[in-house]
Structure 1
Amino acid sequence: MKLPRARIALLIGLAGMLILVAVIVSPLLLMSMPSFLSNGTTVDCDDSVQVEEVSDSGTSDIPAEYLELYKEHGKKIGVQWNILAAVGKRETNHGRSDLPGVKSGTNYAGAAGPMQFLISTWGGKARIPVPSKFNGYASDGDGDGVGDVYNPADAILGAARMLKRNGAPENVRQALFVYNRAWWYVDQVEEIARKYAKSGEVKVPPQASEDCDEPLVEAAPNDLVAKILQYALAQRGKPYVWGGTGPDSFDCSGVIYAAYQAAGLSIPRTTFQQWPFGVKVLAGQEQPGDLVFFNAGPGTSANNPGHVGLVVSKGKMLEARCRLCGPIKVTSYQARDNQVGFTRPLQNPDVLEQLKKLQNPSL
């Protein structure tokens, strides 16, 4: 049967549209879909914190206002809400304790507020304008411009930031030990957290492993970025060491420097040098191979970021964060509240010249 020309044209057009959709969507699917091992087992490559349902005992024990704050700030910062709630329970019974330092002043150790921060770690004062120049965990959880250690919204946000800084959610026991340096305390908090969760567990997000590398590399915008990602992802699990450039350990900028070097490119070594080197990229337009910077570390500011990660997919980065934060891993950059911006080193004029020489060694 001979088809009319109009129908043939329609079928060709539909086929073209399907191909176009496949070209656009397939990289996105590769970034989000689970990876399959050779034995057929699926590996969950999502490193986000799973939302735990509240148990009956949690609902009855935690005041409604506090429960919402634990959930809100746990999700925002990327730590388990039930761990936050367990700290609040263990420290002050969710602010209900009448002991010194909970609602005013400090206790015998100098701690204050519902989450019992040492005033020195909060920022030196119980109430501090936010933002302000301090090195503590003073936080503004209710948007009133003040970090108040006695305000549950501020204190719980500060506690979430402190736990995140010290290894949560992956290494939650280490983070709790830093919060109050006693393993019996860690055990008690974890036991409370298990009771607050309907599952009876403290769920830890799976750290992206080698089984999750292929989708990320396949979704890279070009072969050069794929080489950068391949090297960087292969360093996962190695320890953070300040000044490290491999092969056994790295710091935040060192692993990025080494990854670009593995692709035949030379970029500056330190975070402070890498920030002005790349071409600035608007948030939302970043892509794998770009760098994301944070106002973190000694001597840093919004114009002089001290921490950097390598974007491996939208919302995710590879980072070597700090000595206490656990090994190099893939984490989320979207939940960080001290993000400064993105850059694209591959558009730096010096790198463009290097690329020309790589493509044509005779130049």
Structure 2
Amino acid sequence: MELSPGKLWGLRRMADAQGRFKMTAVDQRPPIKNPIREARGTDAAPYEDVAAFKLMLVEELQGESSAMLLDPHFALPGGMTLLSPAKGLIVTLEDSIFQDTPGGRLSGEIDDWSVEKIKRCGGDAVKVLAWYRRDAAPDVCRAQEDFVARVGEACARYDIPFVFELLVYPLPGEANQTTQYVEMADKKAELVLDSVRRFAHPRYGVDLFKLESPVPARDCLAAASGGPSMQEHFNALGQAAGRPWVMLSAGAGMQEFKAILNCAYKAGASGYLAGRAIWAQPFRRFPEWDEIRAGLRLDSLSYMRELNAMTDAKAKPWFAHPLYGGTVRVANVDGSFRRDYQGFGP
């Protein structure tokens, strides 16, 4: 299969030299801002505290990462001088503040931010999270689908990979309501699988899926031996994606996430894009900055090395996915390339 030059280069930049993704998320906003706000006893988390923690994550964790995911509010401005140019740069587009309606959740872009700006500032990929359930109100489903399609079209126009994250969530009136970016405690596998099948359609232009476990993380850990019924859900997830995919941690604990990855890699996943499973434990020591840094160096880096060893041994290189079959080509690899390559579209 052929890939456009920008998308091919971006995917290569995000992965290690063997084509496996070992990516660290530093773009979280409420999961970082809320604990800082509570610790400081202020109405809002001080910008300096949020930015300082994110930049510490960039400094300490990039060595074990193939790429890092930064947000344009706190991490990207300072991170541009800290992140090694040898590492891939993924940049967030979606606003962490979603709109709750009687029919479900609506997502949107960060104000004054765009795919074009991400491309212009040197991003290797655009990441978007969207909440989705097939049983949400029809107008909510259409709005979410149109939102994702717009992003996919812009990523094609600016020739940059589209990393798409999906999360199911409780509808109004259901249990376990939360505005946090956390796993739905009683989610059903079919809701997760159905959302992935929906957005695997070419209309949405997704290049890499960032997916949640199809079963609650606690259940995956309980079945760490990899029972047949548990693995079947992950196999179905890989089949539904239809393209390279990685796992997100969604606040899962360290051991839970390892169990999730074990099942995902058996199903053909190409790596991970995770945050809190890696750095949440040291973050609990806020505002003791020296203790946080020590915890990142001792606990988080050790954990990442475990994840990376598992990824090296079990994950499928992204270009070995059946969509590509081990061979990825750029169109017009001859004298016509400079003439036929369009670069940015209209």
Q: Shorter-normalised TM-score: what interval?
A: under 0.3
* Higher relative contact order (CA closer than 8 Å, sequence separation 6+): 2
TM-score, structure 2 length as denominator? 0.24
After TM superposition, the score normalised by the length of structure 1 is 0.23
Larger Cα-atom Rg: 1
